[in-house]
Amino acid sequence: MKRIQVNKPSKLFLVNVLLLSSASASASDVDSSFYGSLRLGADYVDSGTADDAVNGRDFLSRIGVNAEVQLSDGLTGVGKVEYGLRGDDGVNFNQNQKPGLRQIYVGLKGNFGTVTYGSQTIIWHQYVRSAYFSDGLDSLRQGAIRDDDMLQWQKSYNNWKLAAAIQTEKQDGDSIDQYQVATQYKNNSLKLQAALAADQQGKNTGNLYGFRAWYDISKSLTVSAFYHLAEEDFDLYKGNSSGNVRLVSAEESGKVGGVTSCVDEERSTVGLYGKWRQGNNQIHARYAVNSCKIKGDVNSIKVEYIRYFSKKFRMWASIEQLDNDAARLPSTGEDMSAVQLGVRFDF
């Protein structure tokens, strides 16, 4: 039998997970849970290049631990550690490659709401930009998904949910790199969301705005519309996030095809989304346009089918077409399309 070699970082990571699990199990006053989500599959990206081919993919698989401890009446301590299982190339699940940290934070929960600090999903993403599809990919996007050194507060009050955040990061001479505010109103079948991210880093101090609305037409049918706008001098996330159009995860720093970003321009994204689910079958689709003031528009149509074999196990198949203005085409001079087939197993 072939012996699998495990490198030192992977060993340390596994030991840490086991220690966290055993420690939490032995602490009677700590309520903790270990979880995971395996998301593996394949895709075919046609970008007009000679190396177009079917590729095995890891679609943001992860494992983690959630923990809570009762500190006093009405006050709870919370914490989370989450690792992604991708290899170092940011796309494939490679043997013997170390996991990557996704989230780590601590906080307090009480009548005042929930306050957390650390590396975590930013409120701008939570309120106006969360991914619609199973793969976690987002080819038309503004802003980021997670960030470091975030202090966030959220509280629900009747039909309202309010949130605010500040970020202190790096030794760059700025005490605050950004601040964010967000709100949500929900009443029966209608949900309205809005968020603002204000860049405080360096000389450019532009804003990123986001709006989203949801409406449940019936128990089976939901529709949504969203609009994002980044001002010309909003450059907090540079070309790695803001205004990028690509067929890889919003969390990946590299590119797999796509068109160039339009940082240093005013840029907007507007889209419509619809979801239909009946029993164990779901079909959903999105149409969106990413517009740059100078480099032009990119239109995206994506359709996905999901088959739920249980609440924890599902399969999906999707197709997306990207049509680019001539001013924003990459060196290949081609539009793009992608087909996916994947499996997701949550535990």
pLDDT tens per residue across span 35-60? 999 999 999 988 766 667 788 888 88
- pLDDT at residue 223 greater than cutoff 80: yes
What local confidence, expressed as pLDDT, does residue 57 receive?
A: 86
Grade residue 13 by pLDDT with cuts at 50, 70 and 90: low
CA 7 and chain centroid, separation = 29
Instruction: Let me know if residue 290 belongs to a domain.
Output: yes
326: helix, strand or coil: helix
Quick one: 262 exposed, middle or buried, by C-beta within 10 A (0-12, 13-18, 19+)?
buried
**Tokens representing residue 98 in the block:** 């170390």
Instruction: Let me know if residue 18 belongs to a domain.
Output: yes
Instruction: Let me know if residue 242 belongs to a domain.
Output: yes
> Domain holding 82: CATH number?
2.40.160.10
What local confidence, expressed as pLDDT, does residue 271 receive?
A: 94
Identify which of 236, 233, 60 has the alpha carbon closest to the alpha carbon of residue 138. Answer: 60
Taking the C-alpha atoms of residue 347 and residue 345, their distance in angstroms, rounded to an integer, is 7
Quick one: 172 exposed, middle or buried, by C-beta within 10 A (0-12, 13-18, 19+)?
exposed
Instruction: Let me know if residue 2 belongs to a domain.
Output: no
What local confidence, expressed as pLDDT, does residue 318 receive?
A: 96
**Number of neighbours of residue 147 by Cβ within 10 angstroms:** 23
Identify which of 110, 108, 105 has the alpha carbon closest to the alpha carbon of residue 148. Answer: 105
Identify which of 281, 119, 142 has the alpha carbon closest to the alpha carbon of residue 211. Answer: 142
170 vs 207, more confident: 207
Instruction: Let me know if residue 121 belongs to a domain.
Output: yes
pLDDT tens per residue across span 54-100? 888 888 899 999 999 999 888 999 999 999 887 544 555 555 567 78
Instruction: Let me know if residue 1 belongs to a domain.
Output: no
pLDDT tens per residue across span 183-204? 999 999 999 999 999 988 877 7
Give the number of domains in the chain. Answer: 1
What local confidence, expressed as pLDDT, does residue 172 receive?
A: 63
Q: How far is CA 6 from CA 1, 13, 139, 235, 329, in A?
A: 16, 11, 34, 40, 42
Instruction: Let me know if residue 268 belongs to a domain.
Output: yes
Taking the C-alpha atoms of residue 11 and residue 90, their distance in angstroms, rounded to an integer, is 20
Residue 124 φ then ψ, to 5°: -60, -45
Phi-psi region for residue 333, left (φ > 0), alpha (ψ -120 to 50) or beta? left
Instruction: Let me know if residue 3 belongs to a domain.
Output: no
267 vs 99, more confident: 267
Domain that holds residue 319: 8-346
pLDDT tens per residue across span 293-310? 777 788 899 999 999 999
What local confidence, expressed as pLDDT, does residue 90 receive?
A: 52
Are 133 and 302 in contact, with CB atoms under 8 Å apart? yes
